[in-house]
Amino acid sequence: MKTKSPAKSASNTDHNRKSIFTDEYVQIGAHLNLKYTGAAIPYALTIFLGAFLLFLVEPIIGKYILPWFGGVPAVWATCLLFFQVVLLAGYCYAHFISRMLRPKMQAILHIIVLIVCIIFLPIIPADKWKPLGTDLPYIRILALLAVTLGIPFLILSATGPLLQAWFTYHIPETSPYRLYALSNAGSLIALVAYPLLIEPFITLRWQFYTWSGLFIIFALFCFWCALRNMHLKQIADEAGQKTESISGWQMLLWGALACFPSALLLATTNQLSEELSVVPVLWVGPLAIYLLSFIICFNKNNWYHRSVWLAILPLFLLAVTAMITEFIPKILWLQLPIYWGTLFVTCMLCHGELSRLHPHPSRLTTYYLLISLGGAIGGIFVALLAPLIFRGLWEYSLSITACCLVILINYLGRRKPLSHWNYVIVIISLVIISIGAGYYIFAQRKYVITTTRSFYGLVRVDRGNHSDPILDARIMLNGRIIHGYQYTKGKLSRFPTAYYTADSGIGIVMLELQKRRDLSGRKPALRIGVVGLGVGVLAAYGMGGDYFCFYEINPDVIKLADQYFSYLSETAANKNVILGDARLSLERELSAGQKGNFDILVLDAFTGDAIPLHLLTQEAFRLYFAHMKTDGVLAINITNDHLDLRRLILGLAQSSGHKVIHIGNSRKGLDCSPSDWLIITNDNSLLSSPQITQRVAAWPARITASPLVFTDNYSNLFSLLR
């Protein structure tokens, strides 16, 4: 009978000891038995519900405060930055208490913090946080979220890593990484459920109440897990001593593989918000895709096939390069699959490699902490630094480039080299996106006079591209949307252009009211309010004694309109430009007893892709009519490529007892752009004037669907899509 030599036996023992740290060990679920599965139920339920609440509250609170800050894309980007930073704080909390405190003390501390959170429910932001128009919106949003949501969000953020650490105390033989995939699944379900099941059917205030009730249930689950944890001895340290130390390079790679996809997530959201609209459905789409990549990559290693995703990558980068350089049209059914597909493929490659680099479970909180740190750095770069250092939305293409670079560096740093095709495909992808980024940044610079970028978006002034020097013009653009232009030579500089020409809806109304003024002989002055300054084209209609009050949220627009355009300086009318969100400004004026008493109130904030929906609610319309004369005119420019606002405005006008007419202008020339205006008034003499009756289409009769009414507590963008 043969016996093993001591040396051989020791070798086998070492081999068995090392094997529990291999990739096969962390292919989770392979060795789970019924005993372990039953013990995992409290942790699985709590982690799932915590992740669900963590990502459900994001679109709820983002939508609630969006109207306070003008409905611009940077509101959601700032919210995402806050969520990522507090997520990092939650991971720090989980890491340090799991390392520094005994399980019993961890449980007691966690229960105390949960009780504090429950005391301050529900988490509805106070009206005192509404901006005044002169403060820094970034700081106000971050402070608002910290005071309203800070501690509950931190506790929810800490739930995943902390309870996974507790799970390892109970079941040290089983890897907890599958619970990370379960956590991301809960987050994904919340994001999908919000636009489909919650936003269309539950008012915004009741969304807060529902969330707060679910948080109490979550806290009870946490108490359950904490009580189970109180009587355990910490055993993670012993396992940690058996684990090889983590190198600085490995930690840096973890952070980088998390950082650049996070930056790309925010950059993709910004890009879509600028080009389409600032609404929850376009926020949660990229975030859901981002989480889906985590679920796939962290559930099982064999779910991530590197060769498949590498083969797809160049195809999507070609498509997105064609999109950002406008070689293919920017239309909804192309934009969403291209932008979202590029994000998904890139995240799969980064998160797939990140999953393959995971450590032994004893290093779990360190690993998650570095992932969270990388995500926060990516968020800070896009939300705070990019608007300061870039003159365009350059962070999108640069984030994709950075993702490709870190993937290549990860491949080059592997101990076992990959197939040469892996390196070739990544290098080809880098070349494609670099060419696209270079073209996007530099190709159109020859027409740009100046560019500004702030919290409220990208605004630039271009010179016209006319061969005739008499027709030289300056054009203001917000993204790719024209917000007015002016000819710079001779008498042409005094004529209204773009959507505001004499044969546009607003032009016909202005001239008709001025005709009455001339016929009366008394020349009563007109009072005109305008929401959205642009280049100030409407001031060209001003006559002596008239009063124009422009409401503009973006200080850069005011600066550029004064510096590069002369409509405001040359008008004969009196004028005033009020900085701040129009609705908040009108509310403050009304509460102070300062009614506008406007003959005409013009809403010109909907021609762009990112429309402020808070200006199109029942409450907003009541505010407008409170500032207008009894026979006043509400004129709304609804020229928009993606959204059809007619049903909504018809419903809002009818609910307030006003009549609506539609005046369209399809003429396109050097002096005008096609436009659609809705005129809302009860002034029958104006509606029956020959100039208007000749131009009015029988528009309301052609509406087959019922009119819509949005309120501050309910809105649904899907119903407005063309």
pLDDT of 519 reads 57
Round to the nearest angstrom and report the end-to-end CA distance of the chain.
Answer: 84
Give which of 540, 620, 534, 529 is closest to 573, Cα–Cα.
540
**DSSP notation for 74-105:** HHHHHHHHHHHHHHHHHHHHHHHHHHHS-HHH
Helix (H, G, I), strand (E, B) or coil at 699: coil
Spatial contact of 53 and 156, defined as CB atoms under 8 Å apart: yes
pLDDT of 27 reads 38
* Residue 75: burial class (beta carbons within 10 Å; 0-12, 13-18, 19+): buried
359 backbone dihedrals φ, ψ, rounded to 5°: -95, -175
Other CB atoms within a 10 A radius of the CB of residue 79 amount to 24
Residue 190 to residue 77: CA distance in whole angstroms? 19
**Which residue has tokens 């405005």?**
649
The CA distances from residue 256 to 78, 121, 286, 647, 651, in Å, are: 21, 37, 20, 47, 50
Spatial contact of 198 and 308, defined as CB atoms under 8 Å apart: no
**Domains of the chain by range and CATH?**
20-442 (1.20.1250.20), 497-720 (3.40.50.150)
pLDDT of 175 reads 63
Peptide bond connecting 122 to the previous residue in cis, omega within 30 degrees of 0: yes
β-sheet bridge partners, residue 711: 714
Residue 206 to residue 212: CA distance in whole angstroms? 10
pLDDT of 232 reads 62
Per the document, the length of the chain is 722
Residue 420 to residue 451: CA distance in whole angstroms? 43
pTM value is 0.75
Give which of 691, 659, 665 is closest to 515, Cα–Cα.
691
pLDDT of 26 reads 36
pLDDT of 272 reads 78
pLDDT of 239 reads 41
Q: What is the DSSP code (8-state) at residue 384?
A: I
pLDDT of 430 reads 81
pLDDT of 24 reads 36
Handedness of CA 640, 643, 648, 650 (dihedral sign): positive
- 480 Cβ partners below 8 Å, 6+ apart? 275, 326, 330, 609
- Amino acid sitting at position 82: F
- Average pLDDT by stretches of 10, the chain with 722 residues: 41 38 36 49 88 91 84 79 88 84 84 88 86 75 91 90 79 68 84 83 89 93 82 49 66 90 88 64 78 79 79 88 75 80 92 83 77 87 83 83 88 73 81 77 72 83 65 78 81 85 90 75 80 92 91 92 92 92 90 89 80 86 94 90 83 90 75 82 87 67 69 77 68
Spatial contact of 408 and 295, defined as CB atoms under 8 Å apart: no
